A and B are shown apart, each in its own frame.
Chain A
């Protein structure tokens, strides 16, 4: 071993974890639909799935905490209705959480709870620090505007007023997600589902955000497109060091992408740990069921 010159190894893989502080830190996030009562306000009390047996309030997300570190991909798995998308939309300020605390390192070093900021400041974070790819492209794209305009929208929001630069950036990103240049002026309403999803990814990347939220990016795509999208995501992490939160109910996707994984059920986190750990040694009954059903 001693005579192997390290610098001559074919693929130099570098792991530099300089920053210790998390880029995103979420604690005790809850999103409740309904008035709530003293019984269900105490998160140690049991609910009927995610519905309070006393007052009938629905707890879509209940007391969720996690951290995302620089360059890390955090996976969130869980069945339909387990609160994954609601959680993501709360993080992206699309929904207002009932309670919770969100610290964003790139905004102010994590000094303030971003849920307490004004809508203008939240919009600023959304436009400059976050990128979001929705499960439903209709939520993330303006279907009647051209693909280029969709990508420019985020840049205009962040203050860019130079058409040439925005067009160049848009074309670069569309090339990256492999959308041919002759389609760049077409509206996404004329695109296939996979192309729409890739335009969304290009749009989310337009401001080089340090944090990316991906909500079921590959659901509904055929396998070859799925593979291409997953490839792209891993490339982005490798080249740009983007931190990501990836929501999926597809364990294969999670296994491929994420370093750490959170398992959600009925709005709560039932298990979290390294992805390999969860896949090979699931602790919770639901996770076991989920992992075995994959085989």
Chain B
């Protein structure tokens, strides 16, 4: 690596400022801490918030994994991984178990994370009340007063119109009984992974200039009504056509060979490892589950 940049691209002053925002976010779970989002070599809206959090936290001994919609090899993930590797020289991996720092867009890995792993999520819209109230000054006040009628009203409106909540992703959560938070556009399937997790979650919104956090073992509850409880996406009766996994988050696709509709794991690392394990089991003569 030619040392043209400071370690991890950002200058030390910027990293300190971002770390201060992160520490404040960890101290007040779910609270959106404003920070001075830097110009990055990728465009805002393409993960600059997550990238800045990653760069401020990463050290030479870290092992980095970057995923986009569950895949390690999509364009966005590849370029962010390349940028961090070139400016830090850290090792990268696609194996969730080996990574110490995981930056992700739209998914939390299927493999449970441990206390030694740091999960960074890219956030497009950090404000869960934004559609209810467009003014930032007012939403700040609503958060200060813990006035979350708007978040519930949003869900109520969906139930009235469509008979069910229609949040595919970014279903709002109550963090630590105090702040309502946008969990970034992870599917509802991943929301329960925030509850009482072993690892620290950091959220970075570069365009909106906000950082927030869910520390380990925080109580995180998805918003719901008494008679309309929170439900995850239902994949019962479906299995991954590559690895055969069930009860994981899957995406619908078309098998190019047969033209049939099939389902496939969204988490490519999990899928690859599960397929490999199934092959080993099949060679030993066991049931390829």
- Interface residues, chain A, with chain B CB atoms under 8 Å away: 119-120, 123, 142, 145-146, 148-149, 152-153, 156-157, 161-164, 166-167, 185
Contacts and interface: CB of A to CB of B under 8 A. Distances in A.
A286 to B, nearest CB: 39
A162 B153 contact: no
A161 B226 contact: yes
B148 to A, nearest CB: 9
A156 B145 contact: no
Given A161-B225, A162-B225, A163-B225, A153 B159 contact: no
Interface of B: 132, 141, 145-147, 149, 152-153, 156-157, 159-161, 225-228
A248 to B, nearest CB: 30
Nearest to A187: B157
Nearest to B133: A142
Contacts of A157: 147, 149
B273 to A, nearest CB: 41
6 contacts: A146-B157, A156-B156, A161-B225, A163-B226, A163-B227, A164-B227
Contacts of A163: 156, 159-160, 225-228
B161 A156 contact: no
B160 to A, nearest CB: 5
Nearest to A118: B145
B153 A153 contact: yes
Contact of B145 (A119, A145, A148): A119
Contacts of A119: 141, 145
Contacts of B227: 162-164
B166 to A, nearest CB: 14
B11 to A, nearest CB: 41
Contacts of A146: 157, 160-161
Given A145-B157, A185-B160, 9 more contacts: A119-B145, A120-B146, A123-B147, A153-B149, A162-B226, A163-B159, A163-B160, A163-B228, A167-B160
Contacts of A153: 149, 153
A166 B149 CA distance: 14
Contacts of B156: 149, 152, 156, 163, 166
Given A119-B145, A185-B160, A145 B153 contact: yes
Contacts of B145: 119-120, 123
Which of A153, A157, A163, A167 counts the most chain B CB atoms within 10 A? A163
B152 A156 contact: yes
Nearest to A148: B160
A125 to B, nearest CB: 14
Contacts of B159: 163
A149 B226 contact: no
Contacts of B226: 161-163
A185 B162 CA distance: 10
Given A119-B145, A123-B147, A161 B152 contact: yes
B142 to A, nearest CB: 10
A164 B159 CA distance: 10
B164 to A, nearest CB: 10
Contacts of B161: 146, 185
Nearest to B161: A185
A157 B145 CA distance: 12
Nearest to B152: A156
Residue from the set B149, B159, B226 with the largest chain A CB neighbour count within 10 Å: B149
B33 to A, nearest CB: 22
A123 to B, nearest CB: 6
Contacts of B149: 153, 156-157
